[in-house]
Structure 1
Amino acid sequence: MTDQDGHLEDGSDDDESDYLNRKVETDYNGDLGSLSSLPIPLSGWPQTFARSMDIYASSPSLHGMGLLGSYGLDQDSLLSSSIRQNQQVAEATSALDDSNVYLEEPLLSQSRTDLEECREKVYWENGASLTIQDSGYGNSEGSSFIRASINGMNVLAGVGILSTPYALFNGGWMGISILFLFALICCYTGVLLKRCMDVNTQIRSYPDIAHTAFGQTGRIVVSILLYLELYSFAVEFLILEGDNLAQLFPKMAMSIAGKSLDAHQSFVLLAALIILPTVWLRNLSLLSYISAGGVVASVVVVLAVAWVGMFDGVGFHHHGNLWNLNGLPTVIGLYAFCYSGHAVFPNIYSSMKDRQQFSSVMILCFIVCTFLYGSIAVLGYLMFGNELLSQVTLNLPREKLASKVAICTTLINPFTKYALILTPLSTALEELLPSSKASARTPLLLWSTCIRTLLLASTVVVAFVVPFFGYLMAFIGSSFSCLVSFILPCLCYLKIFGAAVSRSEMIFIHIILVVGIITAVVGTYSSVKNIADNI
């Protein structure tokens, strides 16, 4: 219940969430100015996404110790803050009648209700659950242009680089134009996310953007898509480990409970057992700076592949095909996967010292990563032609030193990134724990460990059932990546800005939507069919 001024009446704290949601729906009538004055309701799941993704926007800089720094994620703080937040909101709300609980300098200029001020205060007081362990290498005032660019490249330069030669084989030489087209589209949609964040100072993550555009339902739907994308990345990491370790040690075999495991399955299981302790870690500082060299690892792989072609007797003798229409559905999924970094872009933007440079950061990141993707695609296709496998490292002669360098470099990143990938999903599930189970530290840690262990075990099962790296990557790219990187940024932008969008930009955005929908439908159908045919 509210009084005539829009304030909650005494004794109605239980209805505060519904009140805020109704107020957003009532006050936002499509006018951008009114929207910018509204706070993001903090109730509802998930509350930990932005903070759990900050680790990718706070990777070590080049300052002080080469590529190493010391930024970490304190999971205890992250988890406990989400559990305490509702209780703190209630306590702060009840104290409003006895004291003035306001920000000294409100972030929003327009007057707001006591409850809105209270929620904003609690939000920002609890928004620092990402513990930055600054050993002199960070900048407390925000990321510089170079540092933000490195963070963006580390996000984009992932395992997708291994499959771009396979994508070029499937689509032919003309198919590489799709890589450049997707780079252009995803760079632009990354900038659209930045514009959406500028609408309201409290927007800190992709789910916040979806919440601003489509309410709590949009927040939940987008969050689920992002978590499914992260989960599928974790599965790909295990398949990658199994494939490449089996390439180095093809005679490996195991038998468990009377069931024989081939080399691939054996190494998937061993990799999971090695990764398991990192999943239990309560602080990810070490993993964060080891995994921060993603772009360096990509450069090493490209150079190693080039070395094999030039000096290890493989050569560049294959001419390939100009165009292959039958392989296009696979191509679009593989190339879309390469640019699936939009979940982290809002965090990188929020971390920047000069946010006006974000568009330039996006352009630089996409140019560098597209050059790496294109270079290894051309090299691999010229070297192996129609014999290319889903990962170019599987084609390399394993007795050569450069091949071993490429494979070992490929293997390191999944070991260090798996726990970082799984953390946002695990903390989101931990938010759903009943307060009775999360009230004490020991039960909380026990439940957290169980959730992480079960998530890891489930990815092993999926990797056993769907051991097809290329087809699974095409599915991820066509389904999750197309939605997150192509379609949803455009929909959120159009919903938030509405009639303020110019005619030319409206046309361009609708073209992107058409491309994204066609890519998602055709690519998802093709990849699912390929997986089903090979199981």
Structure 2
Amino acid sequence: METQLERAPLSHGKGTTFLRTCFNGLNALSGVGILSIPFALSQGGWLSLTFLFLVAILCWYTGLLLLRCMDASPLIKTYPDIGELAFGRKGRAVICVFMYLELYLVAVEFLILEGDNLDKLFPNQEFKLGHSKIGGRQGFVLLASLVVLPTTWLRSLGALAYLSVGGVLASIILVLCVLWVGAVDGVGFDGEGTLLNWSGIPTTISLFAFCYCGHAVFPTLCNSMKDRSQFSKVLLVCFLTSTATYGSMAALGYLMYGEHLKSQVTLNLPIRKMSSKIAICTTLINPLTKYAVIINPIATALEETCPLRDSRPISMLVRTVIVVSTAIVALVIPFFGYVMAFTGSFLSVTVSILLPCFCYLKIDRGLKKSRIEIGVIVGIILVGLFVGVVGTYSSLKQIMENLRK
């Protein structure tokens, strides 16, 4: 019986340009992590900032490994295709479970973020739904879901690139607004910080890993390009730019609020200042521009299982169901920061660090590799396993402790 990979048609470029692919890639990498990055630094101390650069380098390298895996077969279109080429149907199933769960939880985090920040901007609001009243945060989550829904109906990554431009600009504006709050609006940069806090390192690295969880989207972006050979340059541009943005935001937030940082830096900002309102509004725009890119691989996979896979109404129905389900989960999950840490340590580390290494070693085992390259990849696997186990245990422990309160 032939596999899904064997049945797949040859993938031809969809015509997405280098610049548009860069915007899509940056949009995938520069997610809600930019809000939690100062909190991550506050948990580990100033020296933990070196882990941000280390995680960035590891994830950039594993992104290149995915590209090499794709070069092994013209039939590969998606990340699960890579898993199937490496380990058969079991490999596809494992990657699908981790990848789609990761993307799904990121989409959920987007809606939680919308609810939290709208509730801060418009406190004590209530919504009437029939004879029932809905609290402000819950109502804002539902409102955000309705706003984001039409963007998910766009199937072309070339069209989504226009949304991605808005997402990238929103991240830059957010950093500038936080800088303005500290330099001009009187908050200052006198926040006390520690040099290193070992007990907070697991949370710090888990959140850093979450910031670079774009690997599930990389194969889709690569195949959308007019010239796939340029994708390695796209990766370099995306990781350099996003790391500069993350590092700047982490340092600014920690200098401003020190150990008092909340899980989202916008929740620390003085609400009466215009710069704070701009920052929060920008934060609200950011997830709305990224949501469609993040859920696109999930929707595409579900659509391919339908008999009428090319039907526009079916596509819209599938994407609508995804939005509705993420809204429901967002209303149930109580903890933004700890859920993000769990996603980073368990899912992001697996999808972005471990699985690319395992797939590459399996697919290219017939080729001669230098001992140095094999040693580097094995070292990355060991680091990933350690971070995944320790970070997952730490985040689950924190979630359980807060549930008991």
The Cα of 1:387 is off from its aligned counterpart by 1.2
Task: After TM superposition, list the pairs within 5 Å mapping 1:3-18 onto structure 2.
Answer: 18=1
In 2: Cα distance, 1:296 partner to 1:151 partner: 12
For residues 73-101 of structure 1, give each alpha carbon's deviation from its aligned partner in whole angstroms, at most 9, with x where no partner exists: xxxxxxxxxxxxxxxxxxxxxxxxxxxxx
Quick one: which amino acid aligns to residue 479 of structure 1? F
Counterpart secondary structure, 2:364:
helix
In 2: Cα distance, 1:269 partner to 1:430 partner: 25
Residue 239 of structure 2: aligned partner: 366
Name which of 320, 334, 345 aligns with 1:478: 345
Q: How many residues align?
A: 402
Does 2:139 correspond to 1:272? Answer: no
Residue 457 of structure 1: aligned partner: 324
Q: Is the 8 A contact 1:237 1:418 kept in 2?
A: yes
Residue 513 of structure 1: aligned partner: 381
For residues 487-514 of structure 1, give each alpha carbon's deviation from its aligned partner in whole angstroms, at most 9, with x where no partner exists: 0010011111226221111111111101
In 1: Cα distance, 2:295 partner to 2:309 partner: 23
Task: Identify if the C-alpha distance between structure 1 residues 247 and 326 changes in structure 2 by more than 3 Å, giving closer, same or farther.
Answer: same
Residue 335 of structure 2: aligned partner: 468
The Cα of 1:427 is off from its aligned counterpart by 3.8
The Cα of 1:171 is off from its aligned counterpart by 0.8
For residues 153-211 of structure 1, give each alpha carbon's deviation from its aligned partner in whole angstroms, at most 9, with x where no partner exists: 23212221111000001111111111111011011111111111222223232222212
Residue 299 of structure 1: aligned partner: 172
So what's the TM-score if we normalise by structure 2? 0.90
Residue 255 of structure 2: aligned partner: 382
Task: Identify if the C-alpha distance between structure 1 residues 419 and 248 changes in structure 2 by more than 3 Å, giving closer, same or farther.
Answer: same
The Cα of 1:283 is off from its aligned counterpart by 7.3
Quick one: which amino acid aligns to residue 375 of structure 2? I
Residue 100 of structure 1: aligned partner: none
Residue 57 of structure 2: aligned partner: 184
Does 2:10 correspond to 1:42? Answer: no
Task: Identify if the C-alpha distance between structure 1 residues 274 and 454 changes in structure 2 by more than 3 Å, giving closer, same or farther.
Answer: same
Quick one: which amino acid aligns to residue 506 of structure 1? I
For residues 253-281 of structure 1, give each alpha carbon's deviation from its aligned partner in whole angstroms, at most 9, with x where no partner exists: 23557765432222112222333444456
In 1: Cα distance, 2:305 partner to 2:61 partner: 35
Identity %: 53
Q: Is the 8 A contact 1:156 1:339 kept in 2?
A: yes
In 1: Cα distance, 2:363 partner to 2:253 partner: 43
Residue 143 of structure 1: aligned partner: 17
The Cα of 1:475 is off from its aligned counterpart by 1.3
Task: After TM superposition, list the pairs within 5 Å mapping 1:189-204 onto structure 2.
Answer: 189-204=62-77
The Cα of 1:143 is off from its aligned counterpart by 3.1
Quick one: which amino acid aligns to residue 38 of structure 2? P
**More displaced stretch, 343-352 vs 169-178:** 343-352
Counterpart secondary structure, 1:254:
strand
The Cα of 1:217 is off from its aligned counterpart by 1.9
Quick one: which amino acid aligns to residue 54 of structure 2? L
In 1: Cα distance, 2:175 partner to 2:104 partner: 27
Structure 1, unaligned stretches of length 5 or more?
Answer: 1-17, 22-38, 44-122, 133-139
In 2: Cα distance, 1:478 partner to 1:463 partner: 20
In 1: Cα distance, 2:323 partner to 2:151 partner: 11
Task: Identify if the C-alpha distance between structure 1 residues 532 and 380 changes in structure 2 by more than 3 Å, giving closer, same or farther.
Answer: same
Q: Is the 8 A contact 2:190 2:256 kept in 1?
A: yes
Does 2:295 correspond to 1:422? Answer: yes
Q: Is the 8 A contact 1:172 1:324 kept in 2?
A: yes
Task: Identify if the C-alpha distance between structure 1 residues 451 and 209 changes in structure 2 by more than 3 Å, giving closer, same or farther.
Answer: closer
So what's the TM-score if we normalise by structure 1? 0.69
Task: Identify if the C-alpha distance between structure 1 residues 282 and 298 changes in structure 2 by more than 3 Å, giving closer, same or farther.
Answer: closer
Does 2:126 correspond to 1:253? Answer: yes
- Normalized per residue, the structure richer in helix is 2
In 1: Cα distance, 2:272 partner to 2:63 partner: 42
The Cα of 1:356 is off from its aligned counterpart by 4.8
Structure 2, unaligned stretches of length 5 or more?
Answer: none
Counterpart secondary structure, 1:484:
helix
Task: Identify if the C-alpha distance between structure 1 residues 498 and 229 changes in structure 2 by more than 3 Å, giving closer, same or farther.
Answer: same
Quick one: which amino acid aligns to residue 234 of structure 1? A
Residue 529 of structure 1: aligned partner: 397
Quick one: which amino acid aligns to residue 172 of structure 1? G
Task: Identify if the C-alpha distance between structure 1 residues 183 and 316 changes in structure 2 by more than 3 Å, giving closer, same or farther.
Answer: same
Quick one: which amino acid aligns to residue 486 of structure 1? I
In 2: Cα distance, 1:282 partner to 1:382 partner: 42
Residue 503 of structure 1: aligned partner: 371
In 2: Cα distance, 1:440 partner to 1:153 partner: 28
In 1: Cα distance, 2:297 partner to 2:364 partner: 29
Does 2:93 correspond to 1:220? Answer: yes
Counterpart secondary structure, 2:381:
helix
Residue 237 of structure 1: aligned partner: 110
The Cα of 1:391 is off from its aligned counterpart by 0.8
Does 2:276 correspond to 1:403? Answer: yes
Residue 156 of structure 1: aligned partner: 29
Quick one: which amino acid aligns to residue 266 of structure 2? T
The Cα of 1:298 is off from its aligned counterpart by 1.2
In 2: Cα distance, 1:390 partner to 1:373 partner: 15
Quick one: which amino acid aligns to residue 31 of structure 2? G
For residues 267-302 of structure 1, give each alpha carbon's deviation from its aligned partner in whole angstroms, at most 9, with x where no partner exists: 112222333444456778765412333322211111
In 1: Cα distance, 2:248 partner to 2:399 partner: 28
Of structures 1 and 2, the larger Rg is shown by 1
**More displaced stretch, 384-393 vs 461-470:** 461-470
In 2: Cα distance, 1:143 partner to 1:288 partner: 10
Quick one: which amino acid aligns to residue 6 of structure 2? P
Quick one: which amino acid aligns to residue 516 of structure 1? G
Q: Is the 8 A contact 1:474 1:523 kept in 2?
A: yes
The Cα of 1:422 is off from its aligned counterpart by 3.0
Q: Is the 8 A contact 2:6 2:75 kept in 1?
A: no
In 2: Cα distance, 1:487 partner to 1:413 partner: 29
In 2: Cα distance, 1:193 partner to 1:439 partner: 27
Residue 42 of structure 2: aligned partner: 169
In 1: Cα distance, 2:267 partner to 2:149 partner: 26
